[in-house]
């Protein structure tokens, strides 16, 4: 089964590129850019990657981002992640980036997006991994700051498929960004939002009705509202669930408590993702394996996670068809019906 999981074609829809910063790369970039870190060694930094809750994680996350200064830094960060994708058999990825984390430090928007975008294009050419880029607004910042960021993105709309909403959910409900999302939609962008991770099920309803999202990021608190669960199953509204992240941030006490399999069995379009893999204990294969060891889902359930992710991906029907074909070829060879 572990071998099957490793070889299974995967599609990732919930990945913060800044959250894939491994301590080794952080030290390498710090040296390159003469940035001083509060850690004496890679090991000490790795130990600091243990935190209590979302806020203490975010503090470390923003500190790590300080070493990203040049286009080359953003390229190297993205390339390192793509190499992980290659190892994990991820055939398509849709990654989030947080421009405000960098523009607040005086890094130009263009520097950020150029580095990431060029790595993604090279990944497609050299590794055969297709990708899309989603720009997130930091929800703890103001609506005005989000509008400014959307303005900066306008010259790059051909490189961005959508906008998202991340950072601290509590105290920053979806309605705070309804007008920014309306403008993003008018520009032809897709919308997604983190909702129902540490916040209530109502945030999921509001993200759908006020932000008109095509996908809900996390969404595991939907179980607080049984009617909502039924609606999500009926509409096939995708939930980009992040199992290891949910355990690390205490959304669930242990993997055996996680509700992703129950949601899958109720017919929801749930998908498996790694969120901030450098901080949360693993990339895509690690998340699949963690679920396997805790709950022993079947091969067809694991394949369904990929099927759901392909269905939810922001790509053309032809591209979806090609990915489905890869998955079908794999399942036939592995006698899975």
CATH of the domain at 217: 3.20.20.140
In-domain check, residue 105: yes
- Token pair for 101: 């984390």
Residue 28 annotated in active site: no
pLDDT of residue 49: 85
C-alpha distances in Å from residue 70, one per residue of 109, 153, 179, 195:
11, 18, 32, 32
In-domain check, residue 206: yes
> Which phi and psi angles does 190 have, rounded to 5°?
-80, 160
Torsion of CA 113, 116, 117, 118, to 10 degrees: 120
Q: Helix, strand, coil shares of the chain as percentages rounded to 5?
A: 60, 15, 30
pLDDT of residue 318: 98
| Residue 311: how many other CB atoms lie within 10 Å | 15
In-domain check, residue 47: yes
Coil vs helix vs strand at 14 = strand
Q: What is the enclosing helix (H) or strand (E) of 87?
A: helix 71-88
Q: How many domains does the chain have?
A: 1
pLDDT of residue 336: 66
CB neighbours of 324 closer than 8 A, spacing ≥ 6?
307, 310
**Residues in the chain, how many?**
337
In-domain check, residue 337: no
Question: What is the distance between the alpha carbons of residues 59 and 61, in angstroms, rounded to a whole number?
Answer: 5
- Segments of the chain with pLDDT less than 50: 337
Tell me which of 12, 94, 169, 197 is the catalytic residue: 197
pLDDT of residue 151: 98
Please state the pTM of the whole predicted model: 0.97
pLDDT of residue 64: 87
Coil vs helix vs strand at 337 = coil
Closest CA to 13 of 180, 219, 176: 219
In-domain check, residue 173: yes
For 146, the domain range is: 2-332
In-domain check, residue 87: yes
Cβ proximity of 19 and 61 under 8 Å: yes
| Residue 214: how many other CB atoms lie within 10 Å | 15
pLDDT of residue 59: 81
Cβ proximity of 216 and 199 under 8 Å: no
């Amino acid at each position: 089964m572990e071998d099957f999981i490793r070889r299974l074609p995967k599609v990732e829809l919930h990945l913060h590129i800044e959250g894939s910063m491994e301590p080794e790369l952080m030290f390498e970039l710090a040296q390159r850019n003469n940035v001083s870190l509060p850690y004496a060694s890679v090991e000490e930094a790795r130990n600091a990657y243990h935190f209590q809750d979302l806020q203490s994680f975010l503090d470390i996350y923003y500190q790590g981002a300080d070493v990203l200064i040049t286009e080359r830094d953003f390229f190297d960060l993205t390339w390192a992640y793509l190499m992980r994708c290659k190892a994990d058999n991820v055939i398509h990825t849709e990654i989030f980036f947080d421009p405000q984390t960098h523009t607040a430090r005086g890094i130009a928007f263009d520097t950020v997006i150029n580095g990431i975008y060029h790595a993604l294009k090279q990944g497609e050419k050299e590794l055969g991994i297709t990708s899309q880029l989603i720009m997130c607004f930091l929800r703890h910042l103001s609506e005005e700051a989000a509008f400014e960021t959307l303005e900066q993105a306008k010259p790059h709309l051909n490189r961005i498929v959508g906008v998202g909403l991340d950072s601290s959910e509590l105290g920053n409900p979806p309605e705070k960004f309804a007008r920014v999302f309306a403008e993003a939609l008018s520009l032809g962008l897709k919308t997604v939002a983190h909702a129902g991770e540490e916040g209530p099920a109502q945030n999921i309803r509001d993200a759908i009705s006020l932000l008109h999202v095509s996908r809900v990021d996390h969404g595991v608190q939907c179980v607080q509202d049984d009617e909502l669960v039924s609606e999500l199953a009926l509409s096939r509204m995708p939930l980009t669930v992040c199992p290891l992240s949910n355990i690390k941030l205490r959304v669930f006490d242990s993997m055996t408590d996680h509700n992703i399999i129950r949601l899958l069995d109720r017919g929801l379009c749930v998908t498996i993702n790694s969120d901030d893999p450098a901080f949360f204990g693993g990339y895509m294969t690690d998340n699949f394996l963690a679920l396997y060891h805790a709950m022993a889902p079947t091969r067809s359930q694991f394949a369904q996670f990929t099927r759901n992710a392909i269905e939810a991906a922001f790509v053309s029907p032809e591209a979806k068809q090609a990915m489905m074909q890869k998955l079908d070829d794999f399942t036939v060879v592995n006698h899975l019906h």
